[in-house]
Amino acid sequence: MTMKRRVSPYAQILCVLLVAGWSAACSGPAPDQTPVPAAAVEPQPFGRMPDGTAVDLFTLTNANGVEVRISTLGAAIVSIRTPDREGRSGDIVLGFDAFEGYLRNDPFFGVVVGRYANRIAKGRFTLDGATYTLATNNGPNHLHGGVRGFDKVVWRAQQADSADGASVSLEYLSADGEEGYPGNLSVRVVYTLTAANELRLVYGATTDKPTVVNLSNHSYFNLTGSGDILAHRIQIAADRFTPVDRDLIPTGEVAPVEGTPFDFRQPAAIGSQIDTAHEQITFGGGYDHNYVVNRTSEGLALAARVVDPASGRTLEVRTTEPGLQFYTGNFLDGSLVGKGGLAYARRAGFCLETQHFPDSPNHPAFPDTTLRPGQAFASTTVFTFGAE
């Protein structure tokens, strides 16, 4: 892996001095100040694919003790370490200790999913009068890009220049016909860890043929670091959600959350109604549903906020996307051994997948996911970490 950063010799010297804790004027910190480490990006080898392709790991850090590790396999978030209310650092995302675990990552731990995140009914959609048949990997349906989606490929990565913090850029070219999708799709995602403890995900894509695009990150969070997530308190900024059928495909209805177990407009424990006798809860085995994010304008809007009473850790999600898939790890069954030798049991983590709606290509009333030549797909999601 070759680093491709254009830096003048003078800037290189300055960067060395900054990392050492010196001021930009090279005069050292004032006597009454403590040197603060600069944001840093550290690449290292992570493993090799069965065909020998090298996979790298990028570690992003800031001065507040937050650390994020990104793998070029699946553009995956491998770990996020944040302090709790006592200042103790802990990893708050599910995953594996060793690279080998990510070679068969069936739960999609931490990865970028695409070309189309979530489900497309019966693996088919029609665009401009042509019907496209996609790979099916979720019963009769297409899920998260298919059998070999973006989660299973190695992305090209390099350190990115950002004034906001430590940053890495990952790119992938999805060939025309891959998993059944039309068009050569050039995809990019940039991860930036800011001094404000924000992990910013900026997605971009272009195509040479009309196609559909829906990108998301599939991290499973557990702010305690172990056990289940039922006591976590969540608030979701959504008045409506999209009900599903037994195969978890949207019916096309957009329904109010009021009076249902899906109403998290005020903070409530995730487990407070997760096992109620509600048809939608039964279909999902818990929560596995798309929420329609409340918004009054374009740009970033608050989608969700989660607080862990045990550790005090908080997570806030803002996004430019119209939807948020809230998933409570209902299909985890204890058969996967993850970090620290923990068996990931049911509801060991929750996902907050910012997205366009599931099966949108088959629902004209849903927000459009079509991307055409000359257009640019753009999406931003910000995860903000804290403690209280």
Residues known to be catalytic? 218, 353
Burial class (CB in 10 A: 0-12, 13-18, 19+), 208: middle
Eight-state DSSP code of residue 87: S
Q: Is the separation of the CB atoms in 216 and 325 below 8 Å?
A: yes
Q: Is the separation of the CB atoms in 371 and 211 below 8 Å?
A: yes
142-148 own/partner pairs: CB under 8 Å, 24+ apart: 142/116, 142/179, 142/180, 143/118, 143/119, 144/108, 144/113, 144/114, 144/116, 144/117, 144/118, 144/218, 145/113, 145/114, 145/115, 145/116, 145/117, 145/179, 146/179, 146/180, 147/179, 148/178, 148/179
**Can you read off the two tokens belonging to residue 210?**
């009309």
Apex 107 CA angle, 106 and 109, nearest 5: 110
Cα(107)–Cα(279) distance, rounded to whole angstroms?
Answer: 24
Cα(24)–Cα(282) distance, rounded to whole angstroms?
Answer: 59
- Please, which residues bridge with residue 132 across strands? 125
Cα(248)–Cα(277) distance, rounded to whole angstroms?
Answer: 17
Q: Is the separation of the CB atoms in 267 and 309 below 8 Å?
A: no
- Which parts of the chain fold into alpha helices (H)? 9-19, 279-284
Strands 211-212 and 370-371: antiparallel
Strands 301-307 and 233-236: antiparallel
Eight-state DSSP code of residue 250: B
Q: Is the separation of the CB atoms in 334 and 346 below 8 Å?
A: yes
For CA atoms 285, 274, 92, 66, the dihedral sign is positive
Eight-state DSSP code of residue 373: T
- Please, which residues bridge with residue 186 across strands? 173, 206
